[in-house]
Amino acid sequence: MSRSTNHHNVDLLGIRVAVLRMNELLRICEEHITAKSSLLLSVVNVAKLVNCRKDGELRKSVMDADIVLADGLPIVWLSKLIGDPLPERLAGIDIMYGLLERASRKNYSVYFLGAQESIVQKVVQTVNQQYPGLCIAGYRDGYFAESDSKEVAQEIRNSSADILLVAISSPKKENFLRDWRKFMNVPVCHGVGGSFDILAGATKRAPFWVQRYGFEWLYRLIQEPRRMWKRYLVTNAIFMKLSLEAILRAKLRLSRATPDTTACNCRDTKHPKPSG
């Protein structure tokens, strides 16, 4: 169980992923904003699950989150194949849109951290137009040195934001949130990766039908082949191998736990005496 919420988790390649639907997650976020209590969200896709196995700092940062969510259909498929199914994919960008919509309705304040200066400025302009009830607590780009982390965290703390959205690549994003979440004192912290680029219109998200069939990674690979080909080629292959091993282990556990109905019942029974 999560230390912040009462929900079931599935162990997927050593990472505990929450069994939640979007409406349940957003309700939990609202509860934390109302109570002014800390909630750190983390999302894992195929690449991050694989990288967590070789990057100890990233793994520690992901596991330190209060709720870890499945950002990728292959992860949902794996959960079903091992017999402990997740109800749906909860992509980081969809969580972001859900939080922005709630913030607009409830007048929550949001701090935007990440991407290039021009991108984050465009994000703020877009949010002001599309989510008029939302309060901009502050924003800054994600290109800062590790030595400047405290200064950035102090700026966010001073903003008194209800929600922090961090659009920085892994593992810098996860490690920053792990190290500074308590100091920043923001009720809901959520790492959104490259979502600011999409919100700003700098890149396009895959069409819904591509997302539905689990090929969003391929759509992104086509857009950025030089940057993404090695990542997807290597991590997808490793994920398939690890998934097959996990499925076989799950099947073995199930076969051992299933009682053998063909075995003889050796309990001592009394036979009725013949009448006569």
pLDDT reading at 266 higher than 70: no
Phi, psi at 136, each rounded to 5°: -80, 110
Nearest Cα to Cα of residue 69 among 103, 100, 95, 38? 95
Element (H, E) at 26: helix 22-35
Return the closest-CA partner of residue 111 out of 146, 64, 153.
153
CA distances from 13 to 45, 113, 155 (A): 12, 30, 36
For residue 177, pLDDT over 50 is answered with yes
- Position 7 pLDDT exceeds 90: no
CA distance 24 to 139: 28
Between the alpha carbon of residue 88 and those of residues 24, 44, 202, 255, the distances in Å are 12, 13, 28, 27
- pLDDT by residue (tens digit) across 85-137? 999 999 999 999 999 999 999 999 999 999 999 999 999 999 999 999 999 99
Q: Is 210 helix (H, G, I), strand (E, B) or coil?
A: helix
Q: What angle do CA 51, 91, 69 make, to 5 degrees?
A: 60
Q: What pLDDT, on the 0 to 100 scale, is given for residue 6?
A: 74
Q: What pLDDT is stored for residue 5 in this prediction?
A: 59
State percent of the chain over pLDDT 70. Answer: 82
Closest CA to 193 of 114, 140, 107, 76: 114
Secondary structure element (H or E) that encloses residue 136, with its range:
strand 135-140
The edge-to-edge listing of strands for the beta sheet with 188-191 is 67-70, 39-44, 188-191, 163-167, 109-114, 135-140
pLDDT classification of 210: cutoffs 50, 70, 90: low
* C-alpha triplet 249, 250, 254: angle, nearest 5°: 115
pLDDT band at 193 (very low <50, low <70, confident <90, very high): confident
Q: Is residue 121 exposed (0-12), middle (13-18) or buried (19+ Cβ within 10 Å)?
A: middle
- What's at 112, amino acid-wise? F
Residue 16: the pLDDT is 96
CA separation for the pair 199, 105 (Å, rounded): 19
Measured in whole angstroms, the distance separating CA 249 from the mean position of its chain's CA atoms is 25
Kindly state the average pLDDT of the residues 138-142: 97
* Average pLDDT, integer, range 222-244: 79
Phi-psi region of 185 (alpha: psi -120 to 50; beta: other; left: phi over 0): left
For the four alpha carbons of 98, 104, 107 and 112, in that order, the dihedral sign comes to positive
What is residue 43's predicted lDDT score, i.e. its pLDDT? 96
* CA–CA dist 189, 192 (Å, integer): 10
Q: Tell me which amino acid residue 110 is.
A: V
Q: What is the mean pLDDT of the chain?
A: 88
| DSSP β-ladder status, 9-12 and 15-18 | antiparallel
The model's pTM: 0.85
- Mean pLDDT, residues 198-215: 75
